[in-house]
Amino acid sequence: MSTSSGSRSGPVAAQRLSAWFTPVVVAAGYDLEDLDVRAAGNRFVVRVVVDRDSGVSLDDVAEVSRALSDVLDTHADTADDDLGRSPYVLEVTSPGVDRPLTVPRHWRRNVGRLVTTTVGGAELVGRVVSVDEDAVTLAVEKGGAKKGQVRKAVGNRALTWAELGEGRVQVEFNRPAGHRDEHLVHEGPADEDDDQPLTADDVDELDDEHDDEHDHEHHGAADAAQDQEKQ
């Protein structure tokens, strides 16, 4: 899991949030893949990326978002820096297709996908056939295919973790018959909104809640907004 921070609180904020978030995310059955904290005006944007072997649905993202929001509200009063005193926007999302494959679980979750990687300094294109504790097996693809054409496999090749470089999933518009992404949540044409992170606003919509303000402040301003009396 990587953490980064572009905030005025420095990397300490991301490290603190990682310590708060990781047990909650793991207990819910997910991996905390990435955590980023950025200052945006007078507030913070906290972006969290989660994943698991069976994939992540919108309902899953909403569940994690609610749990992490509760964690932030609980711990904010004890924080004595900008993170504790400022409102925040929490964004929870699943990894995008551009996420590099760097650890075994990333490769395992992309079985059936076409990827590029480097082996001995040379680029290799292949489809992930299987993944185990020792190696990744790729159906190596023949180069030279024109754009839009399906590459032809020339044979399987087992690559140990030591010799395998970082992988990148390739977007395919004409996938070979028989290759299906069982772990994907949605089928059919992709919606451009599918890759957008789920924010607190989206979670409220899923719960049929109609708040006028979704920024969370440690002193409970968002909760007060929910209780406003109708005129």
In 52-190, where do the E strands start and end? 88-93, 114-119, 122-131, 135-141, 153-160, 168-169
Tokens 């406003």 belong to which residue? Answer: 228
The alpha carbon of residue 208 and the mean position of all alpha carbons in its chain are separated, in whole angstroms, by 25
Higher pLDDT, 122 or 147: 122
State pLDDT tens for residues 72-108.
888 766 665 566 667 889 999 999 888 899 999 999 9
Residue pair 2/17 in contact (Cβ under 8 Å)? The answer is: no
Which structural domains are found in the chain, ordered by start? 2-96+195-226 (3.30.300.70), 104-169 (2.30.30.100)
